[in-house]
Amino acid sequence: MRDWGRSRRPSRLGRVRLDKQDQEMDMEMDDAQEQGNDEVLHRRFRHVSFSDNRRHSHVQPQHPANRFIVCNDREKNQIYKGNSVSTTKYNIFTFLPKGLFEQFRRVANLYFLMISILSTTPISPVHPVTNVVPLSLVLCVSLIKEAFEDWKRFNNDIVINGTLVEVIQDGKWIEIPWRKLQVGDLVRVKQDNFFPADLLFLSSTNPDGICYIETANLDGETNLKIRKALEKTWDYIHPNKAAEFKGEIQCEQPNNSLYTFTGNLVMGKQTLPLSPNQILLRGCSLRNTEFIVGAVVFTGHETKVMMNSMNVPSKRSTLERKLDKLILILFGVLFAMCFIGAIGSGFFINRKYFYLGLLGDVENQFNPKNKFVVAALTLFTLVTLYSTIIPISLYVSIEMIKFIQSTQFINKDRRMYHMESNTPALARTSNLNEELGQVEYLFSDKTGTLTRNCMEFFKCSIGGEMYGKGVTEVERAAALRNQLNIHEIGRAADAVHEKGFNFEDARLMAGAWRNEHDPEICKEFFRCLAICHTVLPEGDESPEKITYQAASPDESALVIAAKNFGFFFYRRTPTMIRVRESHVEKIGKVQDVGYEILNVLEFNSTRRCQSVICRYSTGRLVLYCKGADSVIYEKIARGNDAIKKTTREHLEHFGAAGLRTLCLAYRDLSNQLYEEWNEKFIEAKSALSDREKKLGEVADLIEKELILIGCTAIEDKLQEGVPACIETLSKAGIKIWILTGDKMETAINIAYACSLINNQMKQLIISSETKEVREVEDQGDPVETARVIEDTVKRDLERCLDEVDYDTDSRSRLDFALVIDGKCLMYALDPKLRGKLLKLSLMCKAVVCCRVSPLQKAQVTSLIKVGARKITLAIGDGANDVSMIQAAHVGVGISGLEGMQAVMASDFAIAQFRFLTDLLLVHGRWSYIRISKVVAYFFYKNLTFTLTQFWFTFHTGFSGQRFYDDWYQSLYNVIFTALPVIVVGVFDKDVSASLSKRYPQLYQEGIKNMFFKWRVLAVWAFFAVYQSIIFFSFAVGASSKGQNSSGKMLGLWDVGTMAFTCVVITVNMRLMMASTYITKWHNISVAGSILTWFLFIFIYSGIMTRHDRQENIYFVIYVLMSTGYFWLNVLLVPLVALLGDFLFQGIQQRFYPYDYQIIQEKYRNEPDESTQDNETLNDLTPDQERSLAIARLPPQRSRHTGFAFDSPGYESFFALQKGVLPPPKAWDVARRASMKPPKRNLNS
């Protein structure tokens, strides 16, 4: 038996830290959305359970769960799956069929496959190579990319499945590969190694059966977590003892819930309840522990981390969806052209044209006796002839452009590089670059997103007395707003200030609290801060050197405050907390006091409070509780009305100052009451079904009749540059919503402080904190309460709508700000009121939703996304923001202090909120303009090329005669016009980055979709028709008047080659006209494309092979270049063709200019800022340069969930090629697990 009375301080615990409160909120949001539940009863098991394990003999064995495991018995456990995993998408047999299937799911690829098949038939006027070559190039590039990514996954699988782990066999530890591991095996995992499967933690080399793990691959946290084995299994540490372990595990079936586990361990006649504190998940690693012994519970693809490696629904940009419509329109145009040609062919075919040889037996396609067959066959002939109207290289080009935009510009932008945290921006997907340039609604979390998430104890209220003299940023902003002067008292020279503690009030410092009117309540306040928490101390046991690893910054700030008030928490064991108390008996006296921790009633998103039951050395039993004021006030005993009223006033004052508040309370317990309650608590802990619900119900039995102590107020300062950023985004036409769990007063004042709301706005407040609602809530009738709140919300929505309509009719042009709390929002989102809420919110410039749950955040985002069909962006930093981020069109994660869940679920990651200015106004806007221009240009150049063939059809009796050689048609998109459009998509920009931010109104062109309207596409189409007529007209003139050097008329292939030369020159030069920023790469690509055409035709027409169609082109270019007519056409035709575009652009820019053209004209003579815009950091430290290098590595895709084994694993390859070792990525356990552990002594 361990010595429970002796305290042990963990040696070199490292970076021990428990899961954060906000991270655990609603991690099962996807399930909640499917079920329609507003609250997900998802339990937090985030730290060691300090409950007394000595009474488990009272628990009766329960019915076996769905999974029944006999430890150390491989034969009985063979029914379960093995531990081998495969993360590859293909294998050697499925790669080609499955890969091709994936490629032909794209409509364009499927269309060209059909065209290629048609081109092999006799009715095709073109050689199959015309369509097969471009299709093959596109498919080869895509399949090679898929094969490379899958090969990296395969190599990672081999490494992981072959990693060795020690298993107990025949009384000794034997090494076997991970893939041979079975359910029920006892394994030994050594320090710094990964857990090979989901294990039941039995024993460790650390005192009291605890171990420390790193869960970065699950939740992004690099700080350590603590796990504790059951006391009954501590002895199974040595091989001979482990071989004797015959426990039976009854537990739940495999599932993807990372933070829950329900099961029992049956040892003999005892049934011991299991919780997540005894489970070690695959993908985590062991830290600061020599080794542990565990029993395998789930293996392979049944482990929780593998069951989480599912794909998030992929996002497609609005422009890409509109592109699909454009492709369908092109299909319609193609069908119309073919239908016209087919009808014309049916009318044209006639025996009177005797020179066509139609008098005898002819093939069906030209048989005048059956004109319907002629028309039908001609239809299919023309489909293959006009197939180039659909740009096959469009998708590949756009993907390439977006990839370069992400990796070379967004990831490298020094303006979005955070020096303090050494964090660059990261585009985790390139699919949504242009969506960043059209965002109209921005949904933001508050804590950690707008604020720093660096909590400091600032003020407090104890026994109805307020303490603390500081002035918050929110109060300063309010004073400035109201043109008031705040008299701030300077800090005293001896004032204490450390990270987490920014409190100044001499009445409480240095033992002065003993002189207050009620020192006993002060003592309870300080002890509650020092005892009611799950913080772990680290380092030397001195106030100056100790550090605290806490579940959240709030908890750490409260413990630091207790230390500065003279109640220094310095040591923790599973059953004991040691506090060094000063000034308790008399001023200056210090004494070490131990408090036995009997139970910890853990915090979760449902309970919103935390309690600790402890026993003093004197035998006193006390329950200390802290939590949200709305929860604590419901648990307070009757009476104490004066302190309750005063404390509520203080809470409102703190909220108005933008402070985060918690209420503190306590209750003295009798031994009999505690023993009776503890029996129920142990029974609830051992339940196999509804364990979380039962534990919550049991907690409610003891958390009542509390005595209110007071409340704390913690300041979370705004991030740098937030007000300026929000002001700039508002000018850009972006409507910003704050969705927070804070009180209404706090949320409103934060909105004022960050310039979201100002005095010129009219506030529309919909709150459940009304006298009518409070009265009905006091009656305790939930049905009546729901009815009253629903009526109140309906009435308030109608009132606000009338108010907005009146002001609109009066043309007062007021801006409105809507403020609504979570309880009212729940009813406002009901289908009956949703329309009113949507209408009202669209009329408001700013919206603040307070006291909202994570599910409500996602629902509000979806309301605007689906109901208003506006482009939305959600930004957050915690796990409670994941659903909101995934619900929006674009999700942005903040790399903050709340882990990496938000980043892993996001499409883009930045370190600070203020970087949104550059992400949206610069990169988003540029990307939108570039992609819009690229798509429109593709549409134009393919339509131009195809229409020349269409006009030629009228001169060939609709016979389907080719105007161009097959190879011209094949290489037009993939060679002769491919590179310039990519250069424009990468480098083109209308104004510099600094001007984009100086004139944020330019961003509204993207919101209004000014550059991808149907009107814009119609203009491109008009000039495509015009230019195609020019090309054809000159070609017809050449065929009738042109002569070569021998006096012969120019033939079909002479004219076709000359017309194709004009087309290549014209469409490339047209792209230069469309560019607003010309670089050397523009010149090189355009000149290179034209020269490539000439080089090709010189070679192609200079050789001839048998049995092909190439003899038509033999020596054509040499004959043409010997005539002056060719040079006249090459010089004159492009000029005439582009004359219309030139005149149109001149008139448009002179009389109907875009906003950016006005800015261009205004700053045309100023020095070019392009070198500054694309400049990366050259004066960084090696670590900072390394961080930027990491940002250039291939990004993850938007489908990626961020969980283990979902990553392709190729990032490491690129990193090593560049000589860069990437830091640990939370979402890539495959890469981390592939790192070979250091050699150790494996002897028993």
771-787 pLDDT tens trace: 788 778 777 777 888 88
Per DSSP, helices labelled H in 906-992 are 916, 925-954, 966-971, 978-987
Radius of gyration of the chain (CA): 36
Burial 990-1013 (b: 16+ CB within 10 A, else e): bbbbebbbebbebbebbbebbbbe
**Residue with structure tokens 């020279």?**
493
- Say which range, 22-26, 141-145, 589-593, has the weakest mean pLDDT: 22-26
- Say which range, 648-652, 737-741, 1103-1107, 1150-1154, has the weakest mean pLDDT: 1103-1107
Contacts (Cβ under 8 Å, ≥6 apart) of 1181: none
Contacts (Cβ under 8 Å, ≥6 apart) of 1105: none
- Say which range, 755-759, 997-1001, 1101-1105, has the weakest mean pLDDT: 1101-1105
As a whole number of angstroms, the distance between CA 455 and CA 473 comes to: 14
Residue 481: the pLDDT is 61
Q: Check: CB of residue 757 under 8 Å from CB of residue 750.
A: no
- The mean per-residue pLDDT over the stretch 843-863 comes to 88
- The mean per-residue pLDDT over the stretch 629-650 comes to 88
Residue 1200: the pLDDT is 28
Q: With bands split at pLDDT 50, 70 and 90, how would you rate the model's confidence at 362?
A: low
pLDDT higher than 60, residue 1191? no
How many C-beta atoms lie closer than 10 Å to residue 515's C-beta?
10
Contacts (Cβ under 8 Å, ≥6 apart) of 298: 183, 197, 198, 254, 282, 304
Contacts (Cβ under 8 Å, ≥6 apart) of 525: 460, 462, 463, 664, 709, 710
Q: Check: CB of residue 826 under 8 Å from CB of residue 773.
A: no
816-844 pLDDT tens trace: 899 998 889 988 998 889 999 999 999 99
Q: Check: CB of residue 996 under 8 Å from CB of residue 919.
A: no
Residue predicted with more confidence, 1109 or 129? 129
Residue 1020 Cα distances to 174, 335, 404, 470, 602, angstroms: 72, 20, 26, 63, 64
Backbone angles phi, psi at 1021, to 5 degrees: -65, -40
pLDDT higher than 90, residue 810? no
Proportion of the chain above pLDDT 90, given as a percent:
30
Residue 745: the pLDDT is 75
pLDDT winner (highest mean) among 116-120, 865-869, 1187-1191 = 865-869
Of 1192, 1198, 1241, nearest to 1220 by C-alpha is 1192
Q: Check: CB of residue 1167 under 8 Å from CB of residue 1007.
A: no
pLDDT higher than 80, residue 585? no
**Residue with structure tokens 């059909």?**
114
Output the CA torsion sign for 877, 878, 879, 885.
negative
- The mean per-residue pLDDT over the stretch 35-53 comes to 32
- Degrees to nearest 5, angle at CA 105 with 941 and 155: 110
Structure tokens at 232: 């009954």
As a whole number of angstroms, the distance between CA 203 and CA 198 comes to: 15
DSSP secondary structure string for all residues of 117-156: HHTTSTT-SS-THHHHHHHHHHHHHHHHHHHHHHHHHHHH
Output the CA torsion sign for 784, 788, 793, 795.
positive
As a whole number of angstroms, the distance between CA 524 and CA 562 comes to: 11
- The mean per-residue pLDDT over the stretch 862-882 comes to 88
Q: With bands split at pLDDT 50, 70 and 90, how would you rate the model's confidence at 620?
A: very high
Structure tokens at 1179: 């004066």
- The mean per-residue pLDDT over the stretch 51-67 comes to 41
C-alpha torsion 591→592→597→601, nearest 10: 70
Contacts (Cβ under 8 Å, ≥6 apart) of 972: 388, 945, 1060, 1064
- Say which range, 65-69, 641-645, 910-914, 979-983, has the weakest mean pLDDT: 65-69
- The mean per-residue pLDDT over the stretch 434-460 comes to 88
pLDDT higher than 70, residue 3? no
Proportion of the chain above pLDDT 70, given as a percent:
81
pLDDT higher than 90, residue 614? yes
97-137 pLDDT tens trace: 888 887 787 777 787 788 888 878 877 777 777 778 778 88
What separation, in Å, do the N-terminal and C-terminal C-alpha atoms of the chain show? 24
Contacts (Cβ under 8 Å, ≥6 apart) of 402: 430, 431, 433, 434, 927, 931
- Say which range, 610-614, 638-642, 1207-1211, has the weakest mean pLDDT: 1207-1211
Backbone angles phi, psi at 224, to 5 degrees: -85, 155
pLDDT higher than 70, residue 323? yes
Q: With bands split at pLDDT 50, 70 and 90, how would you rate the model's confidence at 141?
A: confident
Residue 1108 Cα distances to 129, 859, 965, 1114, angstroms: 11, 63, 12, 11
Residue 491: the pLDDT is 55
Residue predicted with more confidence, 675 or 474? 675
Burial 335-344 (b: 16+ CB within 10 A, else e): eebbeebbeb
Residue 358: the pLDDT is 64
Residue 566: the pLDDT is 92
Residue predicted with more confidence, 12 or 440? 440
As a whole number of angstroms, the distance between CA 251 and CA 235 comes to: 23
**Residue with structure tokens 């628990």?**
59
- The mean per-residue pLDDT over the stretch 163-181 comes to 92
Q: Hey, which bits of 161-262 come out as E strands? A: 164-169, 172-177, 186-190, 198-204, 210-214, 224-228, 248-251
Q: Check: CB of residue 822 under 8 Å from CB of residue 853.
A: yes
Residue 632 Cα distances to 112, 611, 612, 1234, angstroms: 67, 11, 14, 48
Per DSSP, helices labelled H in 349-435 are 371-385, 394-404
What is the model's pTM?
0.71
- The mean per-residue pLDDT over the stretch 1100-1126 comes to 73
As a whole number of angstroms, the distance between CA 1161 and CA 1167 comes to: 13
- The mean per-residue pLDDT over the stretch 540-554 comes to 82
Residue 219: the pLDDT is 57
Please give the single-letter amino acid code of residue 500: G
3-state secondary structure of 166: strand
As a whole number of angstroms, the distance between CA 449 and CA 880 comes to: 12
894-951 pLDDT tens trace: 876 555 667 877 889 998 999 999 999 999 999 999 999 999 999 999 999 999 999 9
Query: Of 445, 716, 877, 988, which one is the catalytic site residue?
Result: 445
Q: Check: CB of residue 818 under 8 Å from CB of residue 847.
A: yes
pLDDT higher than 90, residue 806? no
Q: With bands split at pLDDT 50, 70 and 90, how would you rate the model's confidence at 53?
A: very low
Q: With bands split at pLDDT 50, 70 and 90, how would you rate the model's confidence at 1106?
A: low
pLDDT higher than 90, residue 373? no
Backbone angles phi, psi at 441, to 5 degrees: -125, 130
Structure tokens at 673: 């009451």
Summary mean pLDDT of the chain? 80
Q: With bands split at pLDDT 50, 70 and 90, how would you rate the model's confidence at 1232?
A: very low
For residue 210, what are the β-bridge partners?
Answer: 228
Of 1205, 1124, 1223, nearest to 153 by C-alpha is 1205
188-237 pLDDT tens trace: 999 889 999 999 999 998 767 888 888 766 655 555 677 889 888 988 99
As a whole number of angstroms, the distance between CA 149 and CA 142 comes to: 11
Residue 33: the pLDDT is 34
Ordered strands of the 576-582 beta sheet: 465-467, 451-462, 707-718, 660-669, 621-627, 609-615, 590-601, 576-582, 567-573
Q: With bands split at pLDDT 50, 70 and 90, how would you rate the model's confidence at 1223?
A: very low
661-674 pLDDT tens trace: 899 999 999 999 99
pLDDT higher than 60, residue 542? yes
Residue 1090: the pLDDT is 93
pLDDT higher than 90, residue 1130? no
| Active-site residue, 802 included | no
pLDDT higher than 50, residue 1168? yes
Residue 1226: the pLDDT is 36
Structure tokens at 316: 């497609």
Q: With bands split at pLDDT 50, 70 and 90, how would you rate the model's confidence at 1122?
A: confident
Name the region of 755 (left: φ>0; alpha: ψ -120 to 50; beta: rest): left
Residue 40: the pLDDT is 31
**Residue with structure tokens 């990525």?**
1225
Residue 113: the pLDDT is 84
Q: Check: CB of residue 852 under 8 Å from CB of residue 394.
A: no
For residue 274, what are the β-bridge partners?
Answer: 263
Q: With bands split at pLDDT 50, 70 and 90, how would you rate the model's confidence at 465?
A: very high
1019-1052 pLDDT tens trace: 999 999 999 999 988 877 766 665 666 556 677 7
Q: Hey, which bits of 645-755 come out as E strands? A: 660-669, 707-718, 735-739
Residue 1197: the pLDDT is 35
Residue predicted with more confidence, 36 or 465? 465
